[in-house]
Structure 1
Amino acid sequence: MNAQEIQTAILAAHRGRFDGHPPVAVGPFHDEDPVYRGAKAACAALGFIEVDAECLGRAWQAVTQRRLGRFDASAWPDSPADFGLRDFPPQSREDAFAPCPVALGLYAVLPDAEWVGRAARAGIPTVQLRFKSDDAAAVAREIDAAIAAVRGTDALLFINDHWRQAIAAGAYGVHLGQEDLDALTADEVQELRASGLRLGVSTHGYAEMVRADAVSPSYLALGAVFPTTLKKMATAPQGLARLHDYARLMRGYPLVAIGGIDADRLPQALASGVGSIAVVRAFVGADDPEAAARLLMARMREAPRA
């Protein structure tokens, strides 16, 4: 088959799963292989941004080569080997970060220590302090207050971004975005790993999942699943079809779905195979946050799992 035939076959097999994602202009090709070229063009037509279309093109190429040249348009790449990832489960690697529970449960992302304490007392099992400030002293005070706020509860506390302060304060873990992760030197990654803190990393597609896997973090966050107004996103909402594919590929990790998830959408997201659902507005924006927490946790217990 030539590249155009491969592109047509992939679109015929998968276009229906990705309705709602407008096509993206295909970027430059870096190989003459027809499977790579056809698959990359098809994935751009399915709405995958350039870096993800490139990643998928290479994955289709790898799948076909492993099958001795037999191309199968129905077989969407879903194995770590397809993407050049190292042995799974990642926790078995020598450079793995400290492990965390496979199912982190309901995961509340919170603006300050007062909200952290409120979520922990409401029984939410995993909480994250996302405190934004350029004042290092204020950050340190808020982190200390958040650690004090979860004391006596079962909540696991992750600190967003401020990893050195999190180490100093003795937090359970730290959560980094892709830009934060990319800004770390190899020595800083090792310093963070050696501290024993758990590391969670935000991802927004295939290329970012591959990048995050390179440091063997404790968990991956996948999103944004649905539209959200909380922050400006560099990528469009991923949707449920992509979430299912991401969860199948990265099933060796504890996985957290995030972005626009409320009590009604929670069962749909959980059915993808993730072990945790992160919420922001569904808790802090509720008229009765404690009642909202009880409802969300009940939905998690009742929801069918993949």
Structure 2
Amino acid sequence: MHRIAQIGAGRMGAVHLANAAHNPRLEVAWLVDPRPDAAGIAASAGAQVASVEQVLADAGVEGVIIASSTDTHLTLVKACLAAGKAVFCEKPLDLDLASLLAAEPELAHPKAPLYVAFNRRFDPDCRALQARIAAGEIGDLETLNITSHDPAPPPAHFIPTSGGLYRDFTIHDFDLACWLAPDPFVEVFTWASCLVDPAIGAAGDVDTARTLLRDAKGRLCSISNTRRSGYGFDQRVEAFGPRGMLRAGDLLQDTLQAWRETGATSAPRYMDFIARYAAAYRSEMEHFADILSGQAQPETGYADSVRSLRLAEAARQSLRTGLPVRV
């Protein structure tokens, strides 16, 4: 069993803490979080409250899950790696591309494993889609369509510290597109508006976007984003090639349907990404256990973080200028 610690017990931290506590290969020893109820949260995982300094000084801690606020990720990652701890970091590593690039000497080839959790790579359907594209089932990939729609917008106070639509939300789609596509994307163009919540616009962000990526051979990827679907969490991916299409998504809460004179009814979609990607989050934690056991190298790390953030920054520049942006 591998002894680990976790920093942060907010929304995503709660998901990772529960999965770590239920993983028979992991022992959560410490939780670092300033909230008043941190001791109770820690106890639910069999852990105790500690400071960052205690975690770094504990030679028995093999790995650290970093799920604190995004603005603390890069500093904490560096400190944990310097202390010889393997790191599981909730995405993103940082919101500032220049800061991330400046950290290359420490993070590109770290002293301990660095694993940045892009959850869609661990979703069973997305993994199956990637494997079948790579196996050539539809021939050489020509185009991708990615739909990523949230059920409802976040509170306006979340927007200023989130990094905005492209760096907080679309960054998952950028990473997914890079993982599925055979070559790097070299150009980005986007249109975006504030159509869902005026408070998001007042906070300086957009909530609805259409983004186009192009690689050097002309292959295209289109990404559809909105902060409000009105019908549940909608995540779909369509891959097209000369021999057909592969499609993943449209997951419902169950497969039961009722057929009556008035028509057919079925279960609703998942109402948030945490429920939709529950299996992916468990697989992420299992991968961390594999890393700690020496059975695997991190599937996602520094280079993937830079690549997706570079696309996000290009999209932001395209939105400002109204022009395509070379990457």
- State the TM-score, normalizing by the size of structure 1: 0.29
Which of the pair has the greater relative contact order for Cα pairs under 8 Å at 6+ separation?
2
- State the TM-score, normalizing by the size of structure 2: 0.28
Larger helix percent: 1
Larger strand percent: 2
